[in-house]
Chain A
Amino acid sequence: MTPTIISTVKPSPESTFDLRTHLGSLELSSPVLTASGCAAAGRELDNYFDITAIGGIVTKSIMLAPRSGRATPRMAETPSGMLNSIGLQGPGVESFLETDLAWLQQRGARTIVSIAGRTADEFGKVAAKLRVAGGFDAIEVNISCPNVEDSGQVFACRADISAQIIQTVRRNSDNKIPIFAKLSPDVTDIVEIATSVSQAGATGVSVINTLLGMVIDTQTMRPALAGVTGGLSGPAIRPIAVRCIWQIRSALPNLPIIGMGGVRTGQDALEMVLAGASAISVGTSIFNDPGAPMRIQRELEQELRNRGFESLTQAISFAHREVIEAVIEDEMGESKDESEQDWDFISE
């Protein structure tokens, strides 16, 4: 076997496949993004692939002030996944704007800035600073973090508070800036939360954030993480992510969805697209393969071609067609040739 260098970075020049996607008013050349907290601000990854060749970079959630994060150990590997308890370590919004965002802008990368806060007011202040600075394409609001005004309860667990945060961010942002609410799957009814953030002015939703989990080290017989509990991510959570995307798409057919949770291959990305995602963020898989976003983008294109799609858009929500067919069948009392029917749906 000849050793080969992997992680090819340049999109093949003959590539004419239409991977464009729309998230509200935002058009991206590809649906593949990095997941917040798994790509820092793109700089390190630019070493492994051309970060301007994917859909965009979603930056690590930034807060108003610098944050040291939680004590270590901050991670534990789990079957097909990992737990993390980073605690939103970061330099604060001012430094982020001066160094990270400035670099991304100069590099020409499409950028979705993820923001977090301890209170609704903080979210608003971060958004206001972003508005002044400009130079990014959209905001992702990480409401899956603890609310200090609600005894550390996660914002995203309550529909009313989630809506309040989105309203605050909306009020403090340029009208034209798309805003995505990043939802937690640790809720009884994710559709209820998605509905309320949509009504509060969110352009779309990002699903899913990590699930709360815990590991006990059987050697030390203590929690493996210094923070005791942590967020579960990686392929282990993918079916939950697909389910959340499916439910939101079914209930809110026009709400753009950025899907994420355990995407490792183009096929995984396709699964989320079929469930209703217009874009896909790649998180934990970057730790396994720093070139993952680029590779997944290439693989997704191939998966789409293999199934006869001519563009990404045709595949978005495609898995929902059976539901529509079932309705038609019930009403008409007849069934058509399946492949023909699929084609009808595409060309609509």
Chain B
Amino acid sequence: MSVGASESATLGAMQVLGEVLDVQRSGNYFLMSVTAPGLAERARPGQFVTVGMGGEESSMVLRRSFAIQGVQVRGMYGGTLDFIVSPVGKGSQWLTKLRRHDPVNLVGPLGKPFTLPTKPVTCVLVGGGYGAAPLIMLAQALRERGCRVDSIIGASTEEKLYGSLDLKRVSTSLTLATEDGTAGIRGRVTDGLINTLDSSKVDVVYACGPMPMLASVAEECTTRKIFSQCSVEESMACGIGVCMTCVLPVIGEDGVTRMLRSCVEGPVFRGDRVRWADIGTIPEGTWGGEGPRS
């Protein structure tokens, strides 16, 4: 099976032609299980895969990225992995129409994973919509390290909540929040987060979800001097670091803002390093910038 598959010890991403094992509906989303021998074994929480869209002759030339929700490394198929798809556009809708045994072209595991604590600390996981998916794999890894894991997931409405069953199983506690109150507390995940941060001692916050959610999670953590890691979702052309489409302004150790590639230098960034309010711009003073802009 290892017909000349190319891999490097440092990066470890590879291209694999896998096969759909199962497509299951879950509220507004579809859970895809695919074989990914070799790839699944290397995946760590927070990493993603890209999937080729529409077959060989497709007019969709760009792959789409999906956060890895979990992997099974042993079993009759070799490595398999799960990811969740929200059918919002051409590519994602095509994907959810695939059936068992259909081929899927996968590249991964990509991106920097969440950094795991070396001690059994208290962690809060915050997920918005399908952003809860990678937190499932993360929660497992944290529990294996003896960490306390309080998960808070939210969405606009119950149909868009994802992962409550899985997260309940792997978390110490689980809080649900919907903006319309159809499930859990009425309000946003950040309301739940603020409660937790104010009522208990928290060491690390991990978050994945829409950018505005990440921005407020990061802000709440940073003002309280709590370490946060946020997994961002920027539009990506290559996913492997060669095109420079997926950049966002991030402050480095030296205090200088640089436009970093979220596919290789992310998607997980320290919440206090990303210039959330400036995403979509080249902020003044950015390394290589042209100074003040009109």
* Residue ranges of A at the interface with B (Cβ–Cβ < 8 Å): 1-10, 37-40, 44-50, 60, 65-75, 77, 79-82, 84, 86, 89-92, 226, 234-235, 284-291
Contacts and interface: CB of A to CB of B under 8 A. Distances in A.
B209 interface: no
Contacts of A86: 243-245
Most A CB contacts (10 A, CB to CB) among B11, B35, B52, B242 go to B242
B242 A68 contact: no
B62 A3 contact: no
Interface of B: 1-8, 11-19, 35-38, 52, 59-63, 77-78, 101, 103, 105, 107, 234-235, 237-248, 258-259, 264, 279-282, 286-290
A4 B1 contact: yes
A49 B279 contact: no
A3 B235 contact: no
18 contacts: A2-B1, A3-B19, A3-B78, A5-B16, A7-B6, A9-B5, A37-B243, A39-B242, A46-B8, A47-B12, A67-B288, A69-B247, A71-B282, A72-B246, A74-B244, A75-B243, A290-B238, A291-B6
Most B CB contacts (10 A, CB to CB) among A7, A79, A284 go to A7
B287 A68 contact: yes
A52 to B, nearest CB: 12
Contact of A7 (B5, B59, B241, B243): B5
A68 B288 contact: yes
B40 to A, nearest CB: 11
B65 to A, nearest CB: 12
Contacts of A73: 235, 245, 280
B9 to A, nearest CB: 10
A288 B62 contact: yes
B59 A79 contact: yes
Contacts of A81: 61
A3 B241 contact: no
B3 A8 contact: yes
Nearest to B234: A72
Contacts of B247: 69, 72, 74, 89
A38 B19 CA distance: 28
A287 B244 contact: no
Given A3-B36, A287-B237, 9 more contacts: A5-B5, A5-B16, A7-B5, A48-B240, A50-B6, A66-B288, A69-B244, A74-B247, A84-B243
A82 B280 CA distance: 19
A73 B11 CA distance: 26
A284 B289 CA distance: 26
Contacts of B237: 75, 82, 84, 287
B6 A71 contact: no
Contacts of A285: 61
A77 B288 CA distance: 27
A284 B4 contact: no
Contacts of A3: 1, 16-19, 35-37, 77-78
B63 A288 contact: yes
Given A4-B17, A68-B259, A74-B247, A44 B241 contact: yes
B103 A77 contact: no
Contacts of B105: 6, 289
B110 to A, nearest CB: 10
A5 B38 contact: yes
Nearest to A40: B242
Nearest to A75: B245
A49 B237 CA distance: 19
A282 B280 CA distance: 29
Contacts of A40: 241-243
B62 A66 contact: no
A287 B238 contact: yes
A69 B282 contact: yes
B4 A9 contact: yes
Nearest to A5: B5
A65 B288 contact: yes
